[in-house]
Amino acid sequence: MTAPLDPADAEGAITEAVKRYSNWGRWGEDDVLGTLNFLDEAKRREGAALVRRGVSFSLSQRFDMNGPQKGWRRRTNPVHTMLDTGTDAALGNQGFPHGIGGADDVIAMPLQCSTQWDGLGHIFDHGKAWNGRDAAKTVTSEGDLVTGIEHMAPYVAGRGVLLDVGRVIGDERGELPDGFAITEEHLTATAEAHGVAVGRGDIVVVRTGRLARARREGWGDYAGGESPGLSFTTAGWLHASEIAAIATDTWGFEVRPNEFHGAFQPLHQVVIPNMGLLIGEMWDPDALADDCACDGVYEFWLTAAPLPITGAVGSPVNPVAVK
């Protein structure tokens, strides 16, 4: 059983978890990939072999002004603007020869406003970035000078595994209530119910049902409010399983409110700068989950490359699962 937490001692729990689960130096002092090192060529071949039906699912929310953001930390929803339109073409305002016309557009948005990856430069622990680097020298006004998310762009493709905790543990809608802390026991029970194993190099997608509720009831406090999510106690499972990455259908990955008094995202503090774990947030696994429930297959080929934005500490992503 998972040991109980002392809700009054966030600092002590974080310190102990870092001592137990740090991967600093595991892949050398120059490492910029963290747990993506577990996702090797053999694991990609294993993932590619899972494609049997050829049916595909986007696990991304849409990027538009109707998104969940409310301005916290200056995060806004995407602003999409047309630079050239069909009207411009029809009026002959574009100056192109022989009747050709076109449309162009631009988008302005925070990199973490919708479906996204948290890069290794996104979170620090007592002034230290991934692999023990000085945060002040790693991420500056110039961006992430060392672990920019562009380094990960070629590598995030392999065996995906869905853990639909909402369906296995949740209510009749397949949803978990806000504040529900998903423990190692819940993750293990879900994997067993699905008949699937989770291990080295996997990209794990955890469905809580929180996005489905937001889609039904409206965004409300989806972005930053109370939510189901991973318990702080799953740090040991995340480390021992040697997964390459994990993503959820929630804004913050871990349970909110957090499990310690006055704490803010303590699991992030352990797993990103210390474990080097790639975390995805605000993914949309619902259509995939329906298909998995129908055919009983919860593993698939998954490609989810971040945009190679130089020096970025996060990136929008359109994950595609193929079964």
Q: Are residues 120 and 163 in the same domain?
A: yes
pLDDT tens sequence for the chain (323 residues): 667 899 999 999 999 999 999 999 999 999 999 999 999 999 999 999 999 999 999 999 999 999 999 998 899 999 999 999 999 999 999 999 999 999 999 999 999 999 999 999 999 999 999 999 999 999 999 999 999 999 999 999 999 999 999 999 999 999 999 999 999 999 999 999 999 999 999 999 999 999 999 999 999 999 999 999 999 999 999 999 999 999 999 999 999 999 999 999 999 999 999 999 999 999 999 999 999 999 999 999 999 999 999 999 999 999 999 99
Total domains, the chain: 2
75, two tokens: 């995060």
Supply the pLDDT for residue 2.
65
Cα separation, 320 vs 167, in Å, equals 21
Count Cβ neighbours within 10 Å for each residue of 218-237 and write b for 16 or more, e otherwise: ebeebbbbbbbbbbbbbbeb
Q: Are residues 47 and 153 in the same domain?
A: yes
Q: Are residues 95 and 115 in the same domain?
A: no
Parent domain of 168: 10-72+111-322
Q: What angle do CA 177, 247, 144 make, to 5 degrees?
A: 125
CATH of the domain at 181: 3.50.30.50
Is residue 31 a contact partner of residue 37, using CB atoms and an 8 Å limit?
A: yes
Q: Are residues 92 and 213 in the same domain?
A: no
CA gyration radius for the chain?
Answer: 20
**pTM (predicted TM-score):** 0.97
Q: Are residues 219 and 300 in the same domain?
A: yes
Q: Are residues 220 and 256 in the same domain?
A: yes
Residue 5: inside a domain, yes or no?
Answer: no
Supply the pLDDT for residue 1.
60
Q: Are residues 234 and 181 in the same domain?
A: yes
Kindly give the interhelix angle for 210-217 and 286-295, rounded to the nearest 10 degrees. 120
Cα separation, 211 vs 42, in Å, equals 33
My answer on whether omega of the bond before 154 falls inside 30° of 0, hence cis, is no
Cα separation, 255 vs 265, in Å, equals 9
Q: What angle do CA 280, 286, 290 make, to 5 degrees?
A: 135
Q: Are residues 224 and 83 in the same domain?
A: no
Residue 4: inside a domain, yes or no?
Answer: no
Q: Are residues 198 and 142 in the same domain?
A: yes
Residue 146: inside a domain, yes or no?
Answer: yes
Residue 214: inside a domain, yes or no?
Answer: yes
Cα separation, 158 vs 290, in Å, equals 21
- C-alpha 185: how far from its chain's center? 21
